[in-house]
Amino acid sequence: MTAINNRYEFVYLFDVENGNPNGDPDAGNTPRIDPETGHGLVTDVCLKRKIRNYVDVVKQGAEGYNIYVTEKAVLNRNNEMAYKALEIKPEKKKLPKKEEDARKVTRWMCDNFFDVRTFGAVMTTEVNCGQVRGPVQLAFAKSVEPIVPAEVSITRMAVTNEKDLEKERTMGRKHIVPYGLYRAEGFVSANLALGDKGTGFSDDDLDLVWQALANMFDHDHSAARGKMSPRGLIVFKHQDALGNAPAHKLFEAVTVTRREGDGPARAFSDYAVSVDESAVPDSVTLDVKF
């Protein structure tokens, strides 16, 4: 695979209806929120997790598309795979003494694990495979408007222990966002993909990321997350690796506003998405994916 040669930025829109897009474990799993503005938040880690899961489902461990960070993964075991494949003996917490061997180990990890090649990874564990900066990075997603999380009561007709058999039901609570439209902004750096020190992230890999953003929620439904849907992907492609416009100027060209109407937003149709094409230079290609 040939590494990408162009820089990209993108704006990703998704929404949630009666679900919890990203609970905070330090706050009783309530939806994450900016305490000063009331805007909802979804972490970059959460979005990357969904991309990883989608690629794992689609590729099913095909060569070059293993996932490094999976549920209950033992990272040292993953790192050992590189040493075994290259027939190099690992030294505890250290890279191989020969620089050539050290590069081979890190390169093997990039070639075989999609998420290492895409997002990067710190692999300096006891079985050391180095550290990689990934070409694809995401900022926190933020809701377009403040959200008002709701806490609802739920009941369970079954009991866990025999001693509780006489109880009619077990009570519980769950947290939801009645509706929220979220906006995430992302970056794709060709400089971190190209060359001997780059990860080798390719155009095919990038297409897979776009595919994941369009489809990953369909494979991630749960009682907690409710209805989540992708609503838009606006991609800015530069002519070369260095880029032709500041990222923040391109992001500012994309605006999401409320349509006229009373009451809180409860559907994507309550918003209007627009792109000021006059703010996008001719040297940057605009592509609206969905």
Residues forming a β-bridge with 156: 170
Question: Strands, DSSP E only, in the chain?
Answer: 8-19, 23-24, 30-31, 39-42, 120-124, 128-133, 136-138, 141-146, 150-156, 170-188, 227-238, 254-258, 271-275, 284-288
Which tokens in the block code for residue 27? 């706050």
pLDDT at residue 96, as a whole number? 96
Nearest-10 Cα torsion for 261, 266, 270, 275:
140
pLDDT at residue 173, as a whole number? 83
Residue 126: Cβ within 10 Å count: 13
Alpha carbon 235 to its chain centroid, in Å, reads: 16
**From CA 16, how far away is CA 267, in angstroms rounded?**
9
pLDDT in tens, 205-251: 999 999 999 999 999 999 888 799 999 999 999 999 999 999 999 99
* Residue found under tokens 């297409």: 207
3-state secondary structure at position 36: coil
pLDDT in tens, 31-68: 999 999 999 999 999 999 999 999 999 999 999 999 99
pLDDT at residue 232, as a whole number? 97
Q: Which residues of the chain have pLDDT under 70?
A: 168
Give the CA angle between residues 30, 22, 8 to the nearest 5°: 150
Which tokens in the block code for residue 220? 């991630």
